[in-house]
Chain A
Amino acid sequence: DAKTTQPPSMDCAEGRAANLPCNHSTISGNEYVYWYRQIHSQGPQYIIHGLKNNETNEMASLIITEDRKSSTLILPHATLRDTAVYYCIVRVMDSNYQLIWGAGTKLIIKP
């Protein structure tokens, strides 16, 4: 079973910041939070990951709460091309393979 909970869908206006929440209340101390997105009928694309500090890259920012039980992915200036399903995944860094995928959040960017 997925170890994360995400809303099934969200809307955001083009040009605004898109904030995607994720709950991972049972996360362990050595588990990282990963975010991927999947545009319709394509392979998923890696976005960002973090352990406990906030992270930023050219695509997005990841804000992790101090207790690590939830996080938020921020797309600072959403465009129509950001419409996709966004997956929040927790992963043990020492594990060999496990990315446990839930159903994700369908983000729709509206003009």
Chain B
Amino acid sequence: DGGITQSPKYLFRKEGQNVTLSCEQNLNHDAMYWYRQDPGQGLRLIYYSQIVNDFQKGDIAEGYSVSREKKESFPLTVTSAQKNPTAFYLCASSITASGRRNEQFFGPGTRLTVL
């Protein structure tokens, strides 16, 4: 089956620890995205990548880092510098970042709770 996988579904960490969220896609999409969602809110863009070895900051990149060493993988690290990391994190991909075929497909999400 083609799709986007995120793991784990639920993640608990102690305050001050870095944590890495996994995102893998086998859709052969060039572009990948990370969003954060807080209760009752829409999604906010953290980082996006248009192509391997390239990524750009979104609206709320502070306290987060990413890498894009492989086309199918786009891991997100939540660092201790992120002041309020508890949230629902969503990864998405699209065929391209721009142009007509850029509807985004989403993974199931990871719910991170920092204790």
Contact = CB atoms under 8 A, between A and B. Distances in A.
Given A2-B42, A41-B109, A42-B109, A93 B100 contact: yes
Contacts of A42: 108-109
Interface in A68-111: 87, 93-99, 101-104
A29 interface: no
Interface string B98-115: 111011111111010000
B40 A103 contact: yes
Interface string B44-87: 11001010000010100000000000000000000000000000
B33 A97 contact: yes
Contacts of B103: 34, 46, 49
Interface residues of A, number: 21
Contacts, number: 56
Nearest to A2: B42
A99 B45 contact: yes
Interface residues of B, number: 30
Interface in A45-66: 45-46, 49
A93 B31 CA distance: 15
Contacts of B109: 41-43
A96 B42 contact: no
B105 A46 contact: yes
Nearest to A87: B42
Interface of A: 2, 34, 41-46, 49, 87, 93-99, 101-104
